[in-house]
Amino acid sequence: MPNLPNFAIPDVINPENTRCICIQIPDDETWIQNFVGLLAQPSYWFNWQRTGTTAGSDCAKVWTELYWAIDWSTMSCCCDQPPIQFRFDTETGHYQKSTDGGLTWQDAPEYDPREISTIFPPPSASGIDTTKCQNADSLVQVIKQQIVNSVDVDWTFAEVLAFIATVILAFATAGTVLFFSGLVSALVGAIFGAGASAWQAAMTDSVYDNLRCLIFNNMDSDNSIDDAGVTAVLDGIGSITGIAGVTLYSIINALGKVGCTNGIRANLGDPDADCTCSDCTCSVSEWTPFDADGGVINESTRTDCFVEIEAQIRGDAAYYVIFGSSTGDTSCKLTDATATVGTFNPASSAYALPPDAMTPTNWTPHSGAMPSVGTEITGILLKQIAPFTVQLTFG
């Protein structure tokens, strides 16, 4: 986009009346999102002319109030109706709207910047080779380095609030500083209640290690995270006590699935980051496919307790993942099996129990079902008539 001149400061920044205009745009969700993004530009103070006064900030505030009053579902403003209102439900964290003056409220994810803003491409799209753990650590570094460690302990409440909201906006890519300030104001209050130095000291390496594992275990193979994944991360953060837990919950909730995905894809992670979670008590690092047609492992995402395998076709024209210990001396608990491409048929599954090795003789007695959660196994067989890829997580 060419460098355009800043918006001119109007003679009357906040006139008494507003004006309704009607325009036509293509009836398409992407067109609407693009249009919404363009109309958001006057809500940023830095897009206005510099005058040496607060005029640019004042203009941004006026436009922000009008911008968030627009009903983007119909883009109407001329009906004789109460103005649309928005709020965050403090119990659910959902963004809501009211069209009857606040008498009733409905969830409105179509207006929530955490749901509709631009998503960064994965590092691989730029030819950058990263591991899954490194990408999980990228989001951790957003919180650790770009937010927590960058706050000056001598800043005022307003300065800390604006700074945290601005960083979140950079990764959420839509909305305003005012929008995100409302989501993290309680956090900033807690920071000042504890003291900024004590807050930073509470954000220990073990806190970040825990967060990294939560992200790693709930992100998808394309280095994104969906609403269910964000909810799972937030649930896991519930076990982190004190100001550290409040910090992680507030920031992850404010980022939402788009901001978290963009943090994961920002390529800020440590290549040597460790995603061996604290509840992982075994290792499948020595497990292998049964043979050349037992599956192809994605080595870039493999850890002691996680592996992604692409099924291979065998002699009966079906596709298989057959993965385990060739000697039977290493057993692990399978805690999750998720197909990321296609599906597998649990009724065609089988597994081997210790101390047996992964062989047809040993898995035949345990065929026709997946192992129960918590069962120690030495190998797993998954089957489907069509291609599939599966992520296996062990504990």
Whether the CB-CB separation of 96 and 106 falls below 8 Å is answered with yes
Whether the CB-CB separation of 315 and 291 falls below 8 Å is answered with no
Identity of the amino acid at 69: A
Whether the CB-CB separation of 262 and 177 falls below 8 Å is answered with no
Sign, Cα dihedral of 8, 83, 29, 215: positive
Whether the CB-CB separation of 117 and 172 falls below 8 Å is answered with yes
pTM (2 d.p.): 0.52
Q: Of how many residues is the chain composed?
A: 395
Cα 374 to Cα 125: distance, rounded to the nearest angstrom:
38
Q: Write out the chain's pLDDT in tens, 395 residues.
A: 445 678 899 999 998 887 777 677 887 878 877 888 788 888 888 889 888 888 888 898 898 888 877 766 655 555 455 667 777 676 666 778 887 777 888 887 777 776 766 777 877 766 676 788 899 999 999 999 999 999 999 999 999 999 999 999 888 877 777 778 878 888 999 999 999 999 999 999 888 988 998 999 888 888 899 888 898 899 888 878 889 999 999 999 889 888 999 999 999 999 988 887 645 567 787 899 999 999 999 887 777 778 889 999 999 999 999 999 888 888 888 878 888 899 999 899 999 898 888 888 888 888 888 887 668 899 999 999 999 999 888 87
Identity of the amino acid at 251: I
Whether the CB-CB separation of 184 and 254 falls below 8 Å is answered with yes
User: In the structure encoding, which two tokens stand for residue 313, read together?
Assistant: 């076709």
The residue ranges of DSSP E strands in the chain, in sequence order, are 85-88, 95-98, 106-107, 288-289, 296-297, 306-310, 312-313, 319-324, 332-341, 350-352, 376-377, 379-384, 389-394
